[in-house]
Chain A
């Protein structure tokens, strides 16, 4: 068995040649954003000594008169309508507590959950007792944000057949700021796997089901063994996503797909080496630029 060893080397800074026309205005906590007092202060800023000062490390965004700082590395802050992938941590009386990489655990109320068979009825006491039959501690679910409480906690719902308990697949945890906001976050990639890009930074890669089950409602987990070809595709996708993340690229279906195609000449395990990562991501970046331009 061959073992590869590397000595510690100084990390190279990410290349500046990202091809961005507008340079982002990056600040760190304590930096002055502007001394002009005509602006309203948004999230991530505070007023101190006649100046607007940043309180988080991130990029400055300006909308007319509102200045806010969007943090680069942060916990997930819920917005209504986001798709999230979360893990059940507790089963409580009429709800489940879901861990979504945010400051507070999210809640999934029993009344926001689809009953099997898609029935619409009032939840009874039997349903409460059978909660553990639906979702247990440690299960992964995909859901949508229904509401955000005043303290920042997020309330989820799975009121559609495409949400629900997730079966076999691979979870990749990335920073929430790297997932691009798009129309849909459920993608069936042509390479043979499907991916759910949760806005909270949890990305779920799973084998594409052959036929869409309409009546399951996302409760029955398919436990049949996954074929080797599918597993290879999923592993490659996972390594591609990890390389994109290390180079701080935004994640969306096109970038992941391009990265996958760029990585095909390499072996799956080679994708974890820093040089190959750089090479693949550079190629992806090129293709994306060409596509835009």
Chain B
């Protein structure tokens, strides 16, 4: 699919924002996005996430005969692929320019810098050497593919273990992972690419451009460095004219950033090593957080309501008698009553009202727990009240209160607790709260 073109509005907006030193995601000019490194169950497999850009790296090895002119050196092979799921514009035939550029840059960064000791990959000079193959797949494109790819490549190489080989005279024994632990590769240093995007003919620069910023940039400068501040590769594309001090400044920034990233990589590798040694679970499945609020599904938390009765009784037992603010249900006609008015009002017997308030508290607790259970149509009888509950019909009538003036009123509520209607509008919730406070 062809890429949807950027509208003029958006282009202008991005450029104006950059002129005012603002970035769309709130970063500062020299800030990197969050880097997350996770490892797979096999050695040499990792996924690097730079913000939303994701690269999967996988290292594999094979015994082959060496090149004729380099008989004592192993062979390194790098391959970056832009998967079709990374962006709609990536199609099997259509990505050549970008693909070639990225691959060349990656090769120069990793091969020419001699970060991997190829001499150590030799098994039998002239006959058998290890061929190490690094495959990188871009899973999601949100800008700055080259940085993410270089981090993924070097992390995968550091993580990889090759089978152990021993040579005794003419005999070469290749040990399986079960016989002897696989051996890590010998890596001298970790070159990491840092990208700088330039805007308005080199006036403004941003580190780690995301996809939108890449679309409006004038040129790109990529510096590959290691933590010893050695520049492995430097490339400027886009045809912008850069001044000497701009390039020097960028290299200083790159030095700082590479240090941070290298620390992060070391930490991630150590963590993974520790987890594997302790026998814990590792792999991609473990790196997906399933307990976060933004995870896809929240399982219903089952709530244990078996001790609700006891709790309610406890509360009632420990409850002090409520303050003098009491309100009795007012019987208008047989069958309808009004409970509470919000004003201090004591009608009728103090004792009666006390008892009934405490009952209410019990039912309050039960009601709230019930609503948590999300169970409609459950009728809650007076907990703590001693008589057998009278279960009324399942009608959806809210709160029916049947009063026998001389006995305790039995309050039976259906689940739809809307505040009691015409008689006492919105007084109920107020009353409940007050009683709760009194009970505590």
- A residues lining the B interface (CB < 8 Å): 7-8, 87, 89, 99, 105, 137-140, 171
Flag if A99 contacts B2 (CB, 8 Å).
Answer: yes
Interface of chain B, main secondary structure: loop
Please classify the interface of chain A as helix (H, G, I), strand (E, B), loop, or mixed, using the class held by over half of its residues. loop
A7 touches B293 (CB 8 A): yes
Judged by a CB distance under 8 angstroms, whether B34 is at the interface is: no
Quote the shortest CB–CB distance from B16 to chain A (angstroms): 16
Known A-B contacts: A105-B2, A138-B5, A139-B8. Give 5 more (CB < 8 A): A87-B5, A89-B5, A99-B4, A138-B7, A140-B7
| B293: nearest chain-A partner, CB-CB | A7
- Which of B11, B293, B298 is within 8 Å of A138, CB to CB? B11
- Using a CB–CB cutoff of 8 Å, the interface residues on chain B facing chain A are 2, 4-8, 11, 293-294, 296, 298
Instruction: Say yes or no: A137 contacts B5, CB within 8 Å.
Output: yes
Shortest A231–chain B CB gap in Å is 14
CB <8 Å contact, B294 and A99:
no
* A87: nearest chain-B partner, CB-CB: B5
Contact A8 B5 (CB under 8 A): no
**Measured CA separation A137–B215 after assembly (Å):** 14
- Tell me, rounded to whole Å, the shortest Cβ–Cβ distance linking A203 to chain B: 14
Min CB distance, A68 to chain B, in Å? 24
Q: Chain B residues near A8: list those with CB within 8 A.
A: 294, 296, 298
In whole angstroms, what is the CA distance A45 to B296 when docked?
Answer: 36
Per CB-CB distance, the 5 closest pairs between chain A and chain B, nearest first, are: A138-B8, A89-B5, A99-B5, A87-B5, A138-B7
A87 vs B10: C-alpha distance in the bound complex, in angstroms? 14
Give the CA-CA distance A138 to B7 in the complex, in Å.
6
**5 cross-chain CB contacts under 8 A:** A8-B294, A99-B5, A138-B11, A139-B8, A140-B7
Whole-angstrom CA separation of A1 from B294 in the bound complex: 23
Residues of B contacting A87 in the complex (Cβ-Cβ under 8 angstroms): 5, 7
Closest chain B residue to A138 by CB distance?
B8
- State the CA gap A99–B4 with chains docked (Å): 8
Residues of A within 8 A of B6 (CB): 138
Contacts of B293 in A (CB 8 A): 7
- B residues less than 8 Å from A139 (CB atoms): 8
CA–CA, A137 to B8, complex, Å?
9
Query: From residue B315, how far is it (CB to closest CB) to chain A in Å?
Result: 31
Cα A87 to Cα B9 with chains together (Å) = 12
> How far is it, in angstroms, between the C-alpha of A7 and the C-alpha of B294 when the chains are bound?
8
A89 to B6, CA, bound (A): 9
- Using Cβ atoms and an 8 Å threshold, which residues of chain A touch B296? 8
| Chain B hits for A7, CB < 8 A | 293
Known: A7-B293, A8-B294. A171 touches B7 (CB 8 A): yes
Chain A residues lying within 8 Å of B294, measured Cβ to Cβ, are: 8
The smallest C-beta distance from B231 to any residue of chain A, in angstroms, reads: 37
B8 proximity list for chain A (CB < 8 A):
138-139
Which residues of chain B come closer than 8 Å to A137, judged between CB atoms?
5
Nearest chain A CB to B292 CB, angstrom units: 11
Bound Cα distance from A160 to B298, whole angstroms: 57
- By a CB distance below 8 angstroms, the chain A residues around B298 are 8
Q: Taking the nearest CB of chain A, how far is it from the CB of B146, in angstroms? A: 26
Q: A137 vs B5: C-alpha distance in the bound complex, in angstroms?
A: 9
